[in-house]
Amino acid sequence: MAHLLVTGGAGFIGSNFVHHVIQNTDHTVTVLDKLTYAGNRASLEGLPDDRFTFVQGDIADAALVDELFADVDAVVHYAAESHNDNSLHDPRPFLDTNIVGTYTLLEAARRHGTRIHHISTDEVYGDLELDDPARFTEETPYNPSSPYSSTKAGSDLLVRAWVRSFGVQATISNCSNNYGPYQHVEKFIPRQITNVIRGIRPKLYGAGRNVRDWIHADDHSSAVLTILEKGRIGETYLIGADGEKDNKTVVELILRLMGQDPDAYDHVADRAGHDLRYAIDSSKLRTELGWQPRFRDFEAGLADTIAWYREHEDWWAPAKDATEAFYASKGQ
C-alpha cells in the first residue's frame, strides 16, 4: 500500500486515474489541483474519505508542493493547461503551469527523493503526413507545433534532465488523444455530443481530414498504473490503442449514434497550424510491461460516452454556454 499524490486530479484524465487507483489498488490518494476552469470537484465525488484527500492549490507553489511531497511515496503528474485552442489565444498560463509547475515538482522530487511519473502527450512529436504509414515511437524526434505542445515538450525535457543531472526517479508517458466521460465540453468529442443534445449543429475544423489516434481514458489510466508499478526509471513509454480515425469520421459517427443525419454538421475555419495526423506505436509498453488496452471497439466506447453525457447534463451544462460563446467569438 502506498500514498500517491496526483496533480491535476480534478481534470478529465487525472480524475479517471484517481477512480482507477481507488478501485484497483489499496493505495491512498491525495489530489493537488488548482481547480482552473478545467478542474471539476464533482468528478471526484463518491471516493472513500479514509483513502482520499483533496487539496486545492497550484503546482507552482513551492512551499505547498514541498509540504505535500514530504508525506507521499510517489507522484503522478497530470496537472497542465491542456487545450490547444486556448494556447493559441493566450499562451502564458501554459508556460506557468506546464513549464514552471513541472520544474517546481521536479525540484521537490529531487529534495525528497520521491518517485514521479510525468504525463505527457504524443503532440510533442509534431504531426505525420496523412499518407505516411509511419507511427510515433519513443525515438521520434520532438517537433511540437503549438504553444500547448511546445510547453509539454519542454516539461518532458526538464524531466529527462532532472533524471540525468540529479538522479530524480522519474518516468514519462506520451499518450494519444483520450475520450470518455468527464471530459470538458471544449474538447472535440464532448463538444460535438453536447451540441447535438442541445440541438446545435456540430462544428468540424476545415475538411475534417485530420487524424487522431483515440484511446479510452480508462485504458490510459491502466497504462499509467502499469508504468508506475513496473516502468524502468528514466524511460519514456508511448501509450496508444490503435484507434486512428479522422475527425470527419468521428463527427459522422457521433451523429449516427445519436440518431441524426450523419451530414448534419457545419465546417468552420481550420485551427491555425492544425496537426494533420497522430499515430502511436505502443509496442514498448506492450512487450516490456505486458500492458494491453481493454477498449478495442471505438464505436462501443463512443456510444457509452454519449450515454454518459446524456445522463450527466448537470456535470457539463455549467460550462457549455461560456465555451460556445468563446468559440463563437473566434468564428469557430
Ligand X SMILES: NC(=O)c1ccc[n+]([C@@H]2O[C@H](COP(=O)([O-])OP(=O)(O)OC[C@H]3O[C@@H](n4cnc5c(N)ncnc54)[C@H](O)[C@@H]3O)[C@@H](O)[C@H]2O)c1
Task: Write down the least CB distance from residue 300 to ligand X, Å.
Answer: 19
Using CB under 6 A, list all residues that contact ligand X: 7-8, 10-14, 32-36, 38-39, 58-60, 78-82, 97, 101, 119, 121, 152, 175, 177-178, 184
Quick one: 262 or 308, whose CB is closer to ligand X? Answer: 308
148 in active site:
yes
Task: Write down the least CB distance from residue 147 to ligand X, Å.
Answer: 13
Task: Write down the least CB distance from residue 1 to ligand X, Å.
Answer: 25
Using CB atoms, what's the residue nearest to ligand X? 11
Rounded CA separation 6/52 (Å) = 11
Quick one: 7 or 150, whose CB is closer to ligand X? Answer: 7
299 in active site:
no
15 within 8 A of 6, measured Cβ to Cβ: no
Quick one: 28 or 40, whose CB is closer to ligand X? Answer: 40
Rounded CA separation 11/300 (Å) = 23
Task: Write down the least CB distance from residue 75 to ligand X, Å.
Answer: 12
Task: Write down the least CB distance from residue 48 to ligand X, Å.
Answer: 20
**Cα 58 versus chain centre, distance:** 18
Q: For residue 131, what are the CA distances in angstroms to 18, 28, 123, 206, 276? A: 38, 46, 18, 18, 10
Rounded CA separation 243/246 (Å) = 10
Given the residues 33, 81, 85, 122, select the one marked as catalytic.
122
Given the residues 33, 81, 123, 275, select the one marked as catalytic.
123
Given the residues 78, 125, 148, 278, select the one marked as catalytic.
148
Q: Which of 175, 212, 188, 182 is nearest to 293 (CA)?
A: 175
> Residue 204 corresponds to which amino acid?
L
Quick one: 137 or 260, whose CB is closer to ligand X? Answer: 137
81 in active site:
no
200 DSSP 8-state letter: P
26 within 8 A of 52, measured Cβ to Cβ: no
**Cα 37 versus chain centre, distance:** 15
Quick one: 177 or 282, whose CB is closer to ligand X? Answer: 177
Catalytic positions, written as ranges: 122-123, 148
